[in-house]
Chain A
Amino acid sequence: MADAKETLIPAEENSFRLEAYLARGGYEAARKTLLSMQPGQVMDEVKKANLRGRGGAGFPAGSKWAFVPKADDQPKYLCVNADEGEPGTFKDRAIMTRNPHLLLEGIVLTCYAVGIHTAVIYVRGEYESIARRLEQAIGEAGLKGFLGADVFGTGFGLEVYVHRGAGAYICGEETALLESVEGKRGWPRLRPPFPASIGLFRAPTVINNVETIANVPLIFRYGAEAFVAQGLPRDGGTRVFGVSGAVKKPGLYELPVGTSLRKIIYDWAGGPAEGQGIKAIVPGGLSAPFLTPDEIDVPMDYESLAHIKSMLGSAAVIVIGDRTPIIDVLRIVARFYAHESCGQCTPCRVGTTWISKTADRIAAGGGVPGDLDLIRRLAEGMKGKTLCPMGDAAAFPVLSMVGKFGRELEETISRRAE
């Protein structure tokens, strides 16, 4: 069992138990690494592996860690982003439910590399059972000395806490997450300064997604080269693609970075649902510009998707069947961002609700000529002008719908006006 390649989401029942994880060879990589490598070497190995963030932005993890000051004269923090609010995304839930110790081992390695002694796992409030599972795993790991004051007997100290959110998508944004941990409203912070210099409680902080951290032990178990080889030269490893919507087999599929979208949808997820063709595809979570069926051969990696003006984001694929009116998708998307807008900056606060009200009006039959142009202008008005990336996140899918499905939307407006 120890030589079967560890996946992020093991198939077996009870894979989450510490005994099962140890039987799979768990915590060995961390032990060996802490005993034989310096923190700087650990960071270099992660850089070599080209591990990019798997929360949405895709920033190289090793580079992000390197921004943290090296000196040991102040506390530093790791925040693991388990807020998983991006619609269509459900991978971190599975990793934490089925492989919590993999995440903990990743936390140990990450904190060792950066010189961090306190890690906070920020879990969305709806994931209460997962929060409890994590707390149980932390307890188990602590008893075995994998966490605590003297990790693996090396003298390295690390405390890990679970911190529950309370229902706010915006708290998946790095700095809003920090505000939330500090007990405040989730209003993102102005940058600069960046969290690597001034973060949680004003201390240098690394914030990484669950899947990003969960990949770290694999880098040390199998080596950076093997990790890169699994994926692409500038984007190593696997991604846990979440597929949902109008497909025959919705689910999580851990596949190499760069697997084609067509393969993911047809070979793994069984193709579109019975009796439907594909009208549109969300490639990387709701905030990614939508794709049309003729773009389905795109390799699923950051560069390839950026090349066609979309993004890999959280690798959450949602297939929209051709029986679904785009206006319904538009109103649901717009409603989501309006509901989740934190309200701090005006373009997003007003723009998301304005677009939502317009989309609702069109859906209810009250659309007028000029509405699509208005929606486009509002989304462009938010794009690049908000305090945090949520303004762009709200704008991208809307712009892609108005751009790529404008004809259907215009027909909707004129048809229902009759």
Chain B
Amino acid sequence: MSFSLSQTAAKRVDELVRRYPKKEAALLPVLSIVQREKGFISPEAERWVAATLGLRPLQVREVLSFYTLLRREPAGRYVIQVCRNLSCFLAGSEEIIRHLEARLGVRAGGTTADGRFTLETVECLGNCDHAPCLMINDDDYGPVTKETVDGILKRLA
């Protein structure tokens, strides 16, 4: 099989597999490791994960398609997730979303042509006292305004 992970990631996968009484319980953490390294989970990755955990590729695909943070397609280098739930809506998130769509030239769900940004709208991020909030990869931002958003994008450019 041509798919392989870096040594560190492979080591982490080994630890995880040994941690649980059933190998398959490591599925979510392993998929997360694969996605961190490769940016998404390809069909080859699915088969590798399946083989590593003693699962059928179908079982991996079932899980992969259920959880919104797991990707089957590559995303931009920066994944911008803007909260669209109630507290953020009350603080003006819809305006921020429209602003980002215009700025980046993509609709929510899309990736910029240069591959730098993916824009997604998501449900509550658990950061409601900093509404309107968003995440870019693992980092939290909020409260944001149209201006601060522009500043963040510029810094990431």
B124 & A87 in contact (Cβ 8 Å cutoff)? yes
B63 & A124 in contact (Cβ 8 Å cutoff)? no
Q: Which A residues are CB-close (under 8 A) to B62?
A: 185
- Chain B contact patch, size range: 35 or more
Taking CB atoms and an 8 Å cut-off, the chain A residues in 145-165 that contact chain B are: 161, 163-165
Confirm or deny: B135 has a beta carbon within 8 angstroms of a beta carbon on chain A: yes
Complexed CA–CA distance, A92 and B66 (Å): 24
Proximity bits, B69-107, A CB within 8 Å = 1, else 0: 110000000000100111101110000000000000000
Complexed CA–CA distance, A124 and B32 (Å): 12
A250 & B128 in contact (Cβ 8 Å cutoff)? yes
Q: Which of A85, A180, A282 contacts B86 (CB 8 A)?
A: A282
Query: Could you tell me the dominant secondary structure of chain B's interface residues?
Result: mixed
A318 with B25, Cβ < 8 A, contacts A126-B126, A166-B32, A251-B129 known: no
Complexed CA–CA distance, A246 and B89 (Å): 10
Q: Which B residues are CB-close (under 8 A) to A180?
A: 28
Confirm or deny: B29 has a beta carbon within 8 angstroms of a beta carbon on chain A: yes
Q: Count how many pairs of residues, one from A and one from B, have CB atoms less than 8 Å apart in the complex.
A: 141
Q: Which of A90, A124, A125, A183 contacts B129 (CB 8 A)?
A: A90
Known: A93-B126, A125-B32, A166-B28. 6 other contacts (CB 8 A): A90-B126, A181-B25, A183-B63, A185-B62, A245-B87, A250-B87
The 7 closest A-B pairs by CB, nearest first: A183-B27, A167-B69, A166-B67, A244-B128, A167-B68, A250-B129, A87-B124
Chain B residues at the A interface, C-beta cutoff of 8 Å: 19-22, 24-29, 31-32, 53, 62-63, 66-70, 81, 84-87, 89-91, 122-131, 135, 138-140
Can you list 27 pairs linking A and B with CB atoms under 8 Å apart? Answer: A85-B123, A87-B87, A87-B123, A88-B124, A90-B129, A126-B69, A128-B138, A129-B140, A161-B19, A166-B28, A166-B31, A166-B32, A167-B67, A181-B25, A185-B66, A186-B66, A242-B129, A244-B129, A244-B131, A245-B87, A245-B128, A250-B129, A250-B131, A286-B86, A321-B90, A329-B86, A332-B89
